[in-house]
Amino acid sequence: DRMEVITLDGYTEYEKLQIARRHLVPRQLGAHGLKDDEITFTDDALRKIIQDYTREAGVRSLERRIGAICRKSVVKIVGQQWTHVVVTPELVRTQLKKEVFESEGSENIEIPGIATGLAVTSVGGDILFIEAARMKGKGNLTLTGHLGDVMRESAQIAQSYIRSKAEPLGVNSADFEATDVHLHVPAGAIPKDGPSAGVAMVMAMASLFSGKTVRGDVAMTGEVTLRGRVLPVGGIKMKVLAAHRAGLTTVILPKRNEKDLDDIPQEVRDTLRIVLVERIDEAMGVAFGTEARQEYSISAGE
């Protein structure tokens, strides 16, 4: 109680790019006896190193990778094979070999039961796909994907909400009694927890039972209550940046997280449509592309 806790977020991809451009590259050039007119790193090359060869909150591995490229380039320059090196993404792949990490990207969702959520890890934000499947059974819910207790409760809340709103959603309530649901969050080796996947879980189940597909360019985050309210969550900056990096166009956020939008770089906000919602029915209109028709509208009194 006599100490003040200061939480430091990891650098964003944009911040890492600027740090590399202004500090890491010049320092590594000097350390390897290279001049500015002998080697040039393009922004696309630096982004490839950041995305595919490092997975960290800071920039130490990024600087090591830049140094490795500098050393390989020195060999070529001293051997008079090259006079000026332009480091492109293709050259990065050639010199650093196979990519170490693979980031999730947006997908064209063609079948019901899949929704795109947003998560925060120790090294930044990422997107995750919530997958739901149904089969004949007795109404049981199976959860897989190395989920923590809080995330499991979010899945149970999502199922209960969909069952309680079966009629407004146009779902046959009898289907729940004769159907088992399996909900899976890929990357099963990575532990996942927290309530922020609640909205995506509701969307996946609503899509599964209604037969409607969720838009593949929409990502969402937020905690859901049994009344259908969408509650605020943390890590908004990291999550929105992850959606932008994955090529998504629309992000659904809780209305009460509006204050967190000030932390998001303006260039990211300009390219994304950010929709703030207070209730799950508002999010459904965006996720299913039915905002005008309100096919999935559920009145607040229900």
Residue 239 annotated in active site: yes
Other beta carbons within 10 Å of 167: 11
For residue 273, give the DSSP letter: E
Distance between CA atoms of residues 21 and 13, nearest Å: 12
Residue 196 annotated in active site: yes
Catalytic residue among 73, 154, 196, 210: 196
132, 143 in Cβ contact below 8 A?
Answer: no
Provide φ and ψ at 93, rounded to 5°.
-65, -35
Cα–Cα distances (Å) from 60 to 16, 32, 151, in that order, read: 11, 17, 32
155, 114 in Cβ contact below 8 A?
Answer: no
Name residue, tokens 């060999």: 75
The two structure tokens encoding residue 167: 């009629």
Catalytic residue among 16, 165, 192, 239: 239
Strand partners, 207: none
Which residues are CB-neighbours of 201 under 8 A, at least 6 positions away?
115, 117, 130, 132, 154, 155, 158, 183, 224
Active-site annotation, residues: 196, 239
